[in-house]
């Protein structure tokens, strides 16, 4: 790895699924001489998509990394997923990038996934190049692509190359800074410099003028000289462009064919020339773990050490923590302080990542990504630092699950093994949530979509030998009352010897939604001795937990104990628990019990042409529209929808929008189930209990 921070680049490839991102990553390795042949996703031999689930689906499902060297620069190339179900992994990987290459096609059509990734990059002020790939395969043009980028994404896009030919005739590019034609001259991305062909000379002149103007407008000195008609040298333009890219003010557009490895060496030149080294990136900010004072760490090898764990891998040799060094120098066989968990970690060997292989390295400088094996306390998102200068970096973004499934066990006795295996997968995949249904005791797994959950199930079987089947989760209904009722709960049993006696008078009344449970003791004059009052409350809580209409827990009620009686010999804690339970059941019969259902707050982002279909579908699902806002070419629809109506919404939305819609949802509140649906829920509950 490089020992000069100015010669380090940590670069991610960003794109929607199917844009050719991993194909381009393979081309970069081959063109740089890192690999002796170009891996192919379709052939299953990509060094980035090496997991069996990725090979079978021919898609990136997790972030992979590989190092390469170009012009004496050490480049770490990160290839995160582009599919909607796995974009959380992309978001976390972006925390490690110093710059990025955004991959798009020449047709100018971008999916919602591209918008989300670009929006995150804007939020992080991540310097970017834009690469138009598949120019040899897809219909379109530079003009069409630029129009699609400008209409859909926020930013100023400026070509630094124009293509020579298209599709089968794509044979080279014009470099608008040097005004030379770079003709493809081999299968490894190399080019041969020639004069600009006459058929593209006019376009090259026009685009060159636009490029010079765009660069000059961001630099006062260059702008004055440009307006006065002075010549600006190529080196000055390159330096001005590099400054504009580092500040995320301009996004240079380049043209390649990843599949043919055509024009990839000029792209490597651009990575080195225009994307910043770590010392040109802003300092990271955080908090002192104890004082909560603001802290800052500059990307300086001499500064106190700090690093962010942005991913965890469960490898055959144990857990690997992937970290990006933010400041200072990280060395093998040292000690680091986990400021997020107040724990010291002994570090062993550091590793650089080359696909599924790891290469030992002695140390890492700011901006570099390395893997650390077998950290005991550290998890994704944690901050490692110098204990003498502690800092906690801001928490990583949380993603709300979009879909949940209950797990059916295929073999008895696998439950503990399943839970421990899921726990390990959840450490690796922060978008995976594991829970337990308090009522059914089912194990629930939640994630970004059905494909995400299916991949988790595949990994359970392959890695840990655990087989499960997916079942739709049960909706966590609740019950409550709409009326007030009073009732007696009395237990009197005598069967020889000591009997059982407890007598309670209980008032049951509704509370505001979301309040929970309240118990009030109004016993006066010793009608029930003080030691039995907690037993009455315990009996009431137990009875409410069992439900009344459909065996769902009863919530948002107030129970008042206002009278009763006892027997000096036969009364006991158990007798009063049972008496209270009887009293609750008697009161429930008269208190107008109803069923409540969970309501989810949804935010659905779809292209404008699908808005009517989606809002109509939400109405059919008993949803209430709260707001519809325009966001570029998309509409953001906010609605409150019953959970029971959207258990399979992820595949339904994909079908309705041809894969171009995304959504997020979170629990909002409980509401009363419409009367015409109550009988159905009660019947289903009884059938489940009988089964």
Read off the pLDDT of residues 267-279 as tens digits, 9 standing for 90 and up: 999 999 999 999 9
Q: Read off the pTM.
A: 0.82
C-beta of residue 34 within 8 angstroms of C-beta of residue 44 = no
Q: Give the count of beta carbons closer than 10 Å to the beta carbon of residue 415.
A: 14
Once rounded to an integer, what is the mean pLDDT over residues 535-561? 95
How much is the pLDDT for 691?
65
How much is the pLDDT for 643?
92
How much is the pLDDT for 74?
96
Per DSSP, the three-state class of 391 is: coil
* DSSP state letter for 582: H
Task: Tell me the C-alpha distance between 196 and 211, whole Å.
Answer: 17
How much is the pLDDT for 168?
86
Query: Does position 139 have pLDDT exceeding 90, yes or no?
Result: no
Read off the pLDDT of residues 83-100 as tens digits, 9 standing for 90 and up: 988 999 999 999 999 999
For each of the domains in the chain, give its residue range(s) and CATH number, in order of start.
5-280 (3.40.50.300), 284-385 (2.40.30.10), 405-471 (3.30.70.870), 479-591 (3.30.230.10), 597-687 (3.30.70.240)
Query: Does position 505 have pLDDT exceeding 70, yes or no?
Result: yes
Question: 65 phi and psi, to 5 degrees?
Answer: -135, 150
How much is the pLDDT for 394?
95
Once rounded to an integer, what is the mean pLDDT over residues 243-261? 95
- Report which of 684, 612, 602 is spatially closest to residue 645, judged by C-alpha positions: 602
Up-side HSE of residue 676: CA atoms within 13 Å toward CB? 1
Highest mean pLDDT of the ranges 132-141, 442-451, 639-648: 639-648
C-beta of residue 97 within 8 angstroms of C-beta of residue 11 = yes
Task: Tell me the C-alpha distance between 611 and 344, whole Å.
Answer: 52
Once rounded to an integer, what is the mean pLDDT over residues 553-559? 96
Res. 176 pLDDT band, cuts 50 70 90: very high
Per DSSP, the three-state class of 596 is: strand
C-beta of residue 580 within 8 angstroms of C-beta of residue 533 = no
Residues 6+ apart with CB under 8 A from 324: 10, 95, 96, 307, 308, 310, 367, 368, 369
More confident residue, 685 or 46: 46
pLDDT, averaged across the chain: 92
Task: Tell me the C-alpha distance between 689 and 477, whole Å.
Answer: 15
By percentage, how much of the chain surpasses pLDDT 70? 98
Question: 357 phi and psi, to 5 degrees?
Answer: -95, 155
- Report which of 381, 377, 378 is spatially closest to residue 393, judged by C-alpha positions: 381
Query: Does position 1 have pLDDT exceeding 60, yes or no?
Result: no
Beta strand residue intervals within 443-592, DSSP E: 443-447, 468-471, 478-481, 485-493, 500-510, 517-521, 557-565
DSSP string, 401-456: -SEEEEEEESSTT-HHHHHHHHHHHHHH-TT-EEEE-TTT--EEEEESSHHHHHHH
By percentage, how much of the chain surpasses pLDDT 90? 76
C-alpha 612, offset from chain centre = 28
CA distances from 464 to 251, 456, 457, 458, 567 (A): 45, 11, 10, 10, 59
How much is the pLDDT for 300?
96
Question: 510 phi and psi, to 5 degrees?
Answer: -75, 155
Point out the least confidently predicted range of 150-159, 469-478, 519-528, 666-675: 469-478
How much is the pLDDT for 157?
97
Read off the pLDDT of residues 478-496 as tens digits, 9 standing for 90 and up: 999 999 999 999 999 877 6
Query: Does position 690 have pLDDT exceeding 80, yes or no?
Result: no
- Report which of 124, 99, 130 is spatially closest to residue 24, judged by C-alpha positions: 130
CA distances from 43 to 40, 49, 50, 81, 582 (A): 5, 11, 11, 18, 69
How much is the pLDDT for 662?
82
Query: Does position 602 have pLDDT exceeding 60, yes or no?
Result: yes
How much is the pLDDT for 471?
86
Res. 3 pLDDT band, cuts 50 70 90: confident
How much is the pLDDT for 14?
98
Block residue for tokens 């988790």 = 456
How much is the pLDDT for 415?
83
Query: Does position 290 have pLDDT exceeding 60, yes or no?
Result: yes
Point out the least confidently predicted range of 62-66, 446-450, 513-517, 556-560: 446-450
Read off the pLDDT of residues 460-472 as tens digits, 9 standing for 90 and up: 999 988 889 988 7
C-beta of residue 297 within 8 angstroms of C-beta of residue 68 = no
Once rounded to an integer, what is the mean pLDDT over residues 526-534? 94
Query: Does position 543 have pLDDT exceeding 80, yes or no?
Result: yes
Point out the least confidently predicted range of 176-180, 192-196, 587-591, 662-666: 662-666
How much is the pLDDT for 2?
61
How much is the pLDDT for 350?
95
Once rounded to an integer, what is the mean pLDDT over residues 614-633? 92
Beta bridge partners of 67: 76
Once rounded to an integer, what is the mean pLDDT over residues 633-648? 91
Res. 118 pLDDT band, cuts 50 70 90: very high
Number of H-type helices and E-type strands within the chain: 16, 36
């Amino acid at each position: 790895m490089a020992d000069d921070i100015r010669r380090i680049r940590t670069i991610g490839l960003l794109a929607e699924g199917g844009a050719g991102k991993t194909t381009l990553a393979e081309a970069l390795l081959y063109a740089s001489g890192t690999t002796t042949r170009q891996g192919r996703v379709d052939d299953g031999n990509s060094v980035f998509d090496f997991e069996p689930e990725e090979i079978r689906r021919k898609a990136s499902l997790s972030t992979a990394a590989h190092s390469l060297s170009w012009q004496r620069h050490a480049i770490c190339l990160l290839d995160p997923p582009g599919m909607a179900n796995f974009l959380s992994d992309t978001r976390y990987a972006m925390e490690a990038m110093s710059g990025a290459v955004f991959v798009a096609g020449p047709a100018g059509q971008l999916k919602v996934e591209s918008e989300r990734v670009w929006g995150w990059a804007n939020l992080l002020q991540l310097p970017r190049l834009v690469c138009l790939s598949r120019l040899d395969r897809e219909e379109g043009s530079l003009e069409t692509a630029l129009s699609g980028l400008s209409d859909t994404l926020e930013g100023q896009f400026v070509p630094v190359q124009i293509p020579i030919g298209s599709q089968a005739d794509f044979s080279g590019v014009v470099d608008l800074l040097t005004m030379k034609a770079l003709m493809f001259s081999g299968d490894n991305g190399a080019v041969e410099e020639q004069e600009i062909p006459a058929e593209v000379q006019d376009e090259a002149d026009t685009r060159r003028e636009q490029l010079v103007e765009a660069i000059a407008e961001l630099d006062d000195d260059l702008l004055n000289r440009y307006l006065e008609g002075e010549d600006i040298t190529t080196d000055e333009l390159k330096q001005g462009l590099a400054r504009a890219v580092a500040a995320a003010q301009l996004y240079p557009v380049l043209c390649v064919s990843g599949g043919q490895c055509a024009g990839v060496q000029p792209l490597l030149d651009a990575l080195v020339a225009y994307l910043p080294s770590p010392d040109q990136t802003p300092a990271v900010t955080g908090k002192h773990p104890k004082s909560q004072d603001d802290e800052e760490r500059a990307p300086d090898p001499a500064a106190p050490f700090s690093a962010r764990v942005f991913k965890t891998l469960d490898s055959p040799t144990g857990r690997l923590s992937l970290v990006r060094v933010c400041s200072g120098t990280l060395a093998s066989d040292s000690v680091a302080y986990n400021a997020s968990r107040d724990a010291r970690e002994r570090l062993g060997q550091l590793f650089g990542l080359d696909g599924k292989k790891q290469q030992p390295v002695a140390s890492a400088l700011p901006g570099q990504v390395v893997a650390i094996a077998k950290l005991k306390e550290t998890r994704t998102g944690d901050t490692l630092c110098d204990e003498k200068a502690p800092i906690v970096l801001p928490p990583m973004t949380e993603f709300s699950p979009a879909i949940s499934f209950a797990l059916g066990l295929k073999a008895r006795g696998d439950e503990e093994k399943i839970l421990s295996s899921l726990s390990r997968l959840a450490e690796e995949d922060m978008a995976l949530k594991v829970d337990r249904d308090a009522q059914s005791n089912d194990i629930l797994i939640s994630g970004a979509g059905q494909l995400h959950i299916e991949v988790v199930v595949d990994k359970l079987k392959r890695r840990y030998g655990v087989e499960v089947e997916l079942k739709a989760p049960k909706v966590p209904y609740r019950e409550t009352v709409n009326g007030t009722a009073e009732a007696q709960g009395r237990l009197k049993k005598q069967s020889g010897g000591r009997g059982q006696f407890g007598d309670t008078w209980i008032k049951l009344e509704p509370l505001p939604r979301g309040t929970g449970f309240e118990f009030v003791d109004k016993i006066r004059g010793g009608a029930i001795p003080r030691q039995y009052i907690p037993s009455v409350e315990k009996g009431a809580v137990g009875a409410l937990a069992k439900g009344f209409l459909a065996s769902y827990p009863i919530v948002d009620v107030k129970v008042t104990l206002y009278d009763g009686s006892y027997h000096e010999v036969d009364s006991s804690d158990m007798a009063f628990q049972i008496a209270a339970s009887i009293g609750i059941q008697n009161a429930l019969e008269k208190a107008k019990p109803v069923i409540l259902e969970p309501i989810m707050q949804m935010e659905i982002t779809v292209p404008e042409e699908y808005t009517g279909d989606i809002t109509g579908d939400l109405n059919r699902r008993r949803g209430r529209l709260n707001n519809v806002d325009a966001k570029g070419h998309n509409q953001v629809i906010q609605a409150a929808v019953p959970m029971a109506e959207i258990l399979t919404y992820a595949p339904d939305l994909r079908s309705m929008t041809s894969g171009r819609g995304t959504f997020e949802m979170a629990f909002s509140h409980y509401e009363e189930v419409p009367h015409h649906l109550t009988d159905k829920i009660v019947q289903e509950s009884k059938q489940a209990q009988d089964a």
